[in-house]
Amino acid sequence: MYKILIIEDEKLLSEMYEEKFSQSGFSVMVANSAEEGFESLKEYKPDLILLDILLPQENGIQFLKRAKDISGVSKIPVVVFSNYDDPETKKKASDLGARDYLIKTNFTPSEIVEKIKDFLKKLDTSR
């Protein structure tokens, strides 16, 4: 069973994704801010982090920057999923190690689940 951490401030969406991922057999933890995310990561060690970009206080990019310096966290793959569609931000995220940058609105929750499943499976086989 895969463990994921969803960092998403929008309640409506975080609940939806939590539900979909749970239904699809994931162990899900939701954080409403970058800070909450780091808090959770102290005990919870997910296989993957789904990260929103536009977050209150620290945004997704700042999260990625901070995460790099935390041992145990830096190795966790991060997939950005955001409606914020800006080439510069995309590039920054990719430079900071984000594995993918998905535009939320372009995918249904099940499509996202499928993408993450595929990604994790690939990751498993390559290990």
For the stretch 73-78, contacts whose Cβ atoms lie closer than 8 Å and that sit 24 or more positions apart, written own/partner, are: 73/38, 73/41, 76/41, 76/45, 76/46, 76/47, 76/48, 76/49, 77/47, 77/48, 77/49, 77/119, 77/123, 78/48, 78/49, 78/51
Residue (115 or 123) nearer to other proteins, CB: 115
Interface region with other proteins, contact rule CB under 8 A, candidates 18-26, 27-35, 39-47, 119-127:
18-26
Q: Which is nearer to other proteins, 105 or 125 (CB)?
A: 105
- Measured from the CB atom, the residue of 86 and 95 that comes closer to other proteins is 86
| Per-residue interface string for the shown chain with other proteins, residues 45-84, x marking contact by CB under 8 A | ---------x----------------------------xx
